[in-house]
Amino acid sequence: MTERYVEVVLARRQVSCTARLLADRAPLTCEAVWNALPLGGEVYHAKYARNEIYTLLPAFAPAEPPLENPTVTPIPGDLCYFSFTGTQLGTSSYGYRSPVGARVVDLALFYERNNLLINGDQGWVPGIVWGTVVEGLDAMADACQDLWRAGALGETLGFRRV
């Protein structure tokens, strides 16, 4: 199989990085994401997981991928896939402006070390590692730090085929 790549973009900050899909480790997740590209939306910076940015999207896969290539300790450059129900993200403490629908997909980029996927409301939150950044992580990490300090309002996170 030919290797596939996606570009991860913070549009307003005009920064991007390139990631290779891990089709050998998460084939069903990679296929679901690839078939749905381009994807994107409002960006958020994690509260609990530390060095993570993500966007929330309506479920897009014909069938929810199984928990393949899971982690609770993502490393810099990991792209992770999470799936949540509206009730899991429905509390106001998460800060989402509108009610969350029946099933939501969280596509995330981890940009630095020392991440732990545990949530005070939910407990352990394993994610599917479906991609790894192969180019541009340093510039993206700088932009993510700026997003953390300066704010995410008006910024979007996008994923598209390369």
Segments making up each domain of the chain, as ranges: 5-150
Predicted confidence (pLDDT) per residue in 22-61, tens digit: 999 999 999 999 999 999 999 999 987 899 999 999 999 9
What does pTM read for this prediction?
Answer: 0.93
Instruction: Enter the CATH code of domain 5-150.
Output: 2.40.100.20
Q: Are 9 and 158 in contact (CB under 8 A)?
A: yes
How many other C-beta atoms can be found within 10 angstroms of the C-beta atom of residue 19? Answer: 25
Those residues with Cβ within 8 angstroms of residue 25's Cβ, 6 or more apart along the chain or in another chain: 68, 69, 129
Nearest Cα to Cα of residue 20 among 89, 77, 86? 77
High-pLDDT (> 70) share of the chain, %? 90
Residue bearing tokens 């480790």: 25
